[in-house]
Amino acid sequence: MLMISPRMASGMQEKQYTPSLLSFFIYNPKFGPREGEEEKKILFYHPIEIEKNEKIRNVGLCEAIVQFTRTFCPTKPAKSLHTQKNRQFFHEPEENYWMVMVVRNPMVEKPNKDGKPPTVEYQEEEIIDSVYGSVLQQCYSMYKLFNGTFSRAFEAGGVELLTQKLEKFFYRYLQTLHLQSCDLLDVFGGISFFPLDKMTYLKIQSFVNRVEESLSLVKYTAFLYNDQLIWSGLEQDDMRILYKYLTTSLFPRHTEPELAGRDSPLRPEVAGNLLHYGRFLTGPANLKDPEAKFRFPRIFVNTEDSCEELHLIVYKAMSAAVCFMINASVDLNREFCEKLDSLVGPQLTLLASDICEQYNINRRISGPEKEPQFKFIYFNHMNLAEKSTIHMRKMASVSLTSVHPDLMKILGDINCDFARVDEDEEIIVKAMTDYWVVGKKSDQRELYVILNQKNANLIEVNEEVKRLCATQFNNIFFLD
Amino acid sequence: MHRNRGSWGFQPEDTLIEDSGEFPSSLELNGQKTELLAGCAMDVPGLSHRNEDVTSESWRKHRKHVFVLSDAGKPIYSRYGNEEALSSTMGVMMALVSFVQAGGNTIQSIFSDEHTVVFLQQGPLVFVSVSTTHQSEQQLRGELLHVYHQIVSMLTQASIKRIFEHRKNYDLRRLLFGSERVLDSLLDVMDFDPSFMLSAVQCLPLPSSSRDILSNILQKSITPNLVFSFLIAQNRLVSIVQEKTVAEDTRLKPSDLHLLLNLIRASSAFQAGEIWMPICLPLFNHDCYFYAYVANLDPPECTICLVLLSTDKEAFYAMAECKRKIEQAFMSQNALECVANSQMYCVEDVGVNNLRHFLYKPSNVMEHHRQLPQFTCPEMAVPYKSQEERIRLLDLYRNMHNRIHSTSRPLKLIYHSADGETLLAWVTGKFEMYACFTSLVTKKSAISELTKLLRWIKKEEDRLFICHLPKYSTTSQSGRVSTDRGRSDRANASDAGFMSLL
């Protein structure tokens, strides 16, 4: 019997809630081992409004869970706790320092008739552990990039300095987490490389060499074009987190003004230099103003062995951006910046337009860029190279994908299955919507292809993927 | 040799309450109990793992631990090691459960690189699984639910509830005394038998004419209050006959059948005599007992077993008489010969080269599959003959089963090529199947072999599945027989119809 109630007429529908951050805390049990000292263990806790005893209880639960799992495997304790309403992720980045992220499970609220409170249905399966576990690990990596390790802060200034640094960093960083749009790419934490021909690549290499020779202070250099990496002198793990910072935080902050119209107040002050288009993204915003104060952000690299603290200079000309990293003990003054500006500006401007021209030539040769034919994600564990034709723009705020989120989760499932063994594998699935998803793992590389071919069978799907591999991947993947 | 009824330590529900009033204080109780248990465990052969050192590396490295405790934190069962020695670990488990509960939430599982810990609470009992198998949370919880149901099959849910209502820190081991091996056996069987994963029953392949002869004989040998007759051979179902009105009320679920078989297997273990024991079928009716008459028909081999279920506790002699009649009829028609000669088939019978093993379960489109979900599979072939390999293959099937039946993103087909083998999982409106090929198979060959397999199954289907589930009519006790909630409306209707039969 169909009943039309006023509520139905007003369109009262199910409300879908996406996963969100419930709490985030960092603790070290060694700092408060005795009873009555529990509060001392807590180094950072968000949200700050939570009552002290509740914080202590939540930390206590985490400790108990880690201890419990140690009963069965002392070296590999808990990584996540699943409850009906939320999921907790555990990460021990340094000995005895624990980071915990609590995510509220996505849920659906179904309205009830007669004024009864709505029924809530929790959707635990929507959260994939490997994705959010990686997000938590990345929180640490990002903190470490700008602050060095926890131990270092503790050694330098005790608990007070450490808690200060944690508070300062995480208060802002947690606001940039967009848990509803995390997916497989977060598991990879890869770098998108800009495809180049040999000549242009050599030009860039020699540019870097020349600059490093002239500015002997420069320790490391990284060269990017259009949010993609071309060359880096840093270790992989350091570059990957720096890359994430540049592409999700620094570049977007500066791109918007650039794209603004000529008369817009957002448009950056033109440096007044007609010789080149170079400018500093970090450091002095306007070289012409002698009174303006500036400083470069400090980053920490090679934290495993030498732990170097460096100034991060990011200098951009058109679509090309170069990072110069100089020992933090050096004082970088205006004079140095002017020298760098006059040396790098013109060269980089020329180089940027060269690259642009070459890129356009290549595109003309390979044919007009139609809608990418294949939807795929590729990742190479060896050089961290990642490529996705599914994600439209990967920024901090929103990762737009051109496929249904459920398909992305299926990719996540396949990735988890791949992670279980080291051997080459292939997993092909047909989803309920008749989409086919093909996952291939071969020799440290992973490829995921989504095909929307409703009436295709297994053989046809196989042929399609073979074609893709032949054109784009030069037969790296050669399973049948 | 009869199973010692006294060892059950229970009486019908009403007297149980009185009994518990006479229990000595918990301290003494524990003192007596520990001694008793220790004495028993060491005497029974094959239970040496009961005394395994729980602090040892080898204990930690077991593939799957299962713990049962009461919600007062009292240990009840541990698959490996003495549960008393684990009482502090169990205390921690209960503390974790309570802590999360206090926050208005429910703990579900803990994941680490090597282990998955899954929690389940059913009434006053808490179940914990610590597994290295990488099975999904849902599957592990399903296994814990089976353990719960096995306990219910021995005690009934109503008893358990009442006991703990009356006395919150009751030591349930008193009632489960001697039953550890039933749970041990269940946990072992769940590892290497796909029936649990598929929630289906595998029958012994027999020409349908032969099976019909056996079923007819069973169908005719009835006595008042008989509700189920089973003939089992080589641990597989040969025939099943049900009471008409009971069958209308609710179906017998495969899970109940598995628990029944496990209980018989773990209790009787190749004895040549008769057994009369109470058993509860948890999904059918979790609050009351049936009484099972179990007899081996072919001593001393003891591979063929007759099970008769009655609702009447006093019907032992009537059941024995039934059995005599059945045996006589079997002999005069030489009906058991086909059973004795029957064997499981091999994958070679299908006539394909790369296929190594498969599981095939028809969907419930056909009436007989709706009444009794079944599946078929061949003998494990060479690479999977060892227990270890068999479990490994089943783990692979289980992983695919989990993905294909995901609640949020189910799939229709999975094709997985790996180093060891190539696997396929496929769900359609007509069937669900899992197949294992050599790793060198090409997709083309795999598809063509699969087609051949499906044709072969269709051809052999009369033999591979029980296609006909006969019924008989016996005047059973009046009133509701099952607690199957899902069919409560129908049950009410049939109750009325049932009453009119009397």
Reported ipTM: the value is 0.90
Which residues are CB-neighbours of B398 under 8 A, at least 6 positions away? B133, B135, B139, B197
B416 vs A462: CB contact, 8 Å cut-off? Answer: no
What b/e readout covers B42-79, taking b as 16+ CB neighbours within 10 angstroms? Answer: eeeeeeebbebebeeeebbebebbbbbbbbebbbbbbb
Q: How many CB atoms lie within 10 A of CB B175?
A: 19
Span of A323-327, A408-412, B6-10, B90-94 with lowest mean pLDDT = B6-10
Taking the CB of residue B162, how many other CB atoms lie within 10 A of it? 15
The pLDDT, as a whole number, for residue B16 is 32
B-chain residue closest to A79, CA distance: B112
Q: Which two three-digit tokens encode residue A478?
A: 């050669």
Distances (CA, A) of A307 to A144, A240, B447: 11, 17, 57
- Up-side HSE of residue B405: CA atoms within 13 Å toward CB? 15
Q: B412-423: per-residue pLDDT in tens?
A: 999 999 999 999
Bridge partners (DSSP) of residue A229 are A193, A224
Instruction: Among A64, A80, A82, select the one facing B95 at the smallest CB separation.
Output: A64
* Shortest Cα–Cα distance, B391 to chain A (Å): 17
Across the range A362-368, mean pLDDT stands at 67
Are A429 and B403 a contacting pair at CB < 8 A? yes
Q: Which of A9-23, A330-344, B41-55, B376-390 has the lowest mean pLDDT?
A: B41-55
Q: Smallest Cβ distance to B105: which of A68, A73, A83?
A: A83
A126 contacts B410? CB cut-off 8 A: no
High-pLDDT (> 90) share of chain A, %: 63
CB proximity A419 to B under 8 Å? no
Question: Comparing B47-192 with B347-464, is the CATH topology the same?
Answer: yes
Interface of A with B in 440-469 (CB under 8 A): 457-459, 462
CB-closest option in B99, B111, B130 to A80: B111
Residue A227: name the closest of A396, A445, A96 by CA: A396
Do the Cβ atoms of B371 and B469 come closer than 8 Å?
Answer: yes
Q: pLDDT tens across A30-79, in order?
A: 998 888 888 999 999 999 999 999 999 999 999 999 999 999 999 999 99
B169, two tokens: 């820190």
Q: What is the CATH number of domain A198-366?
A: 3.30.450.30
Delimit the domains of chain A by residue range: 15-182, 198-366, 374-473
Answer for the pair B388, B469: CB distance below 8 angstroms, yes or no: no
The CA–CA distances, whole Å, from A479 to A380, A463, B438, B439 equal 17, 12, 14, 11
Our CA-based measurement puts residue A3 at a distance from the nearest CA of chain B, in whole angstroms, of 23
> Which of A:211-270 have CB within 8 Å of B?
none
Percent of chain B with pLDDT over 90: 60
Strands B471-472 and B236-243: parallel
Q: A112-116, B50-54, B409-413, B478-482: which has the highest mean pLDDT?
A: B409-413
Chain B residue numbers touching A72 (CB-CB < 8 A): 60, 65, 114-115, 130
**Minimum-distance CB partner of A81 among B110, B134, B414:** B110
CA quadruple B484, B490, B496, B499: dihedral positive or negative?
negative
What letter would DSSP give residue B482? -
pLDDT-derived band of residue B489, with 50, 70 and 90 as boundaries? very low
The three-point CA angle A220-A224-A225 to 5° equals 160
Where along chain B do its domains lie?
47-192, 201-343+475-501, 347-464
B114: chain A residues, CB-CB within 8 Å: 72-73, 76
Question: Residue B41 — very low, low, confident or very high, per pLDDT cuts 50/70/90?
Answer: very low
CATH tag, B347-464: 3.30.450
Fold exhibited by the domain A15-182: Beta-Lactamase (3.30.450)
Inform me whether the pLDDT recorded for B38 exceeds 70: no
Q: Between A and B, how many residue pairs show a Cβ–Cβ distance under 8 A?
A: 139
Q: How far is B154 from chain A (nearest CA, A)?
A: 31
Mind telling me how many Å the CA of B62 is from chain A's nearest CA?
A: 9
Q: Distance between CA atoms of A410 and B403, rounded to whole angstroms?
A: 9
Mean pLDDT, residues A108-119 taken together: 86
Among B64, B409, B414, B438, the residue to mutate for chain A (most A Cβ within 10 A): B409
Using a CB–CB cutoff of 8 Å, tell me whether A92 touches chain B.
no
A28 CA to chain B: closest CA distance, Å?
Answer: 20
Residue A3 one-letter amino acid: M
> pLDDT-derived band of residue B319, with 50, 70 and 90 as boundaries?
very high
The mean per-residue pLDDT over the stretch A288-307 comes to 87
Out of A73, A462, A479, name the one closest to residue B114 (CB): A73
Q: Taking CB atoms and an 8 Å cutoff, what residues of chain B touch A73?
A: 60, 112-115
Q: Average pLDDT, whole number, for chain B? A: 83
* pLDDT score of A476: 64
Chain B residues in contact with A85 by the CB 8 A cut-off are 104-106
**Residue A421: partners with Cβ closer than 8 Å, 6 or more residues away:** B418, B419
A374-473 CATH, one of 3.30.200, 1.10.490, 3.30.1380, 3.30.450: 3.30.450
The average pLDDT across B302-327 equals 92
Residue type, B346: C
- Inform me whether the pLDDT recorded for A423 exceeds 60: yes
CA distance B254 to B103: 37
Looking at residue B23, what is its pLDDT?
Answer: 25
- Which tokens hold the place of A160? 């007070």
CATH T-level fold of B47-192: Beta-Lactamase (3.30.450)
CATH 3.30.450.30 at B201-343+475-501, yes or no = yes
Q: With CA atoms as reference, report the closest residue to B71 among B96, B104, B94, B90.
A: B94
Average pLDDT of A436-447? 93
Regarding predicted confidence, which is higher, B2 or B442? B442
Residue B391 main-chain phi, psi, to 5 deg? -65, -35
Which residue's structure tokens are 């990345």?
Answer: A138
Cβ <8 Å between B415 and A425: no
Residue A82 to chain B, least CA–CA distance (Å): 5
Question: Which two structure tokens, joined as six digits, stand for B258?
Answer: 């598995």
Q: Do A458 and B137 touch (CB under 8 A)?
A: no
User: How confident is the model at residue A6, as a pLDDT?
Assistant: 47
- What are the backbone dihedrals phi and psi of residue A132, each rounded to the nearest 5 degrees, phi first? -75, -30
Number of H helices, E strands in chain A: 11, 21
Q: Cβ contact (<8 Å) for A480 and B89?
A: no
CB contact under 8 A, B108 and A83: yes
Collect all residues with Cβ–Cβ distance below 8 Å to B501 and sequence separation of at least 6.
B245, B475
pLDDT of residue B216 exceeding 70, the answer is: yes
pLDDT at A267: 52
CB contact under 8 A, A421 and B92: no
B443 has pLDDT over 90: yes
Distance CA B404, CA B400 (A): 6
Residue in chain B lying closest to A105 (CA): B105
Task: Return the pLDDT at A258.
Answer: 59
Q: Is A22 on the interface with B (CB under 8 A)?
A: no
Helix (H, G, I), strand (E, B) or coil at A24: strand
CB-nearest to B407 from A72, A125, A459 is A125
Select from A65, A84, A458 the Cβ nearest to the Cβ of B447.
A458
The closest of A283, A295, A380, A293 to A322, measured between CA atoms, is: A283
According to DSSP, the residues that pair with A109 across neighbouring strands are A15, A120
Residues 95-134 of chain A whose Cβ lies under 8 A from any Cβ of chain B: 123-126, 129
Taken in order B428, B434, B435, B439, is the CA torsion positive or negative? positive
Could you tell me which residue, B476 or B233, shows the higher pLDDT?
Answer: B233
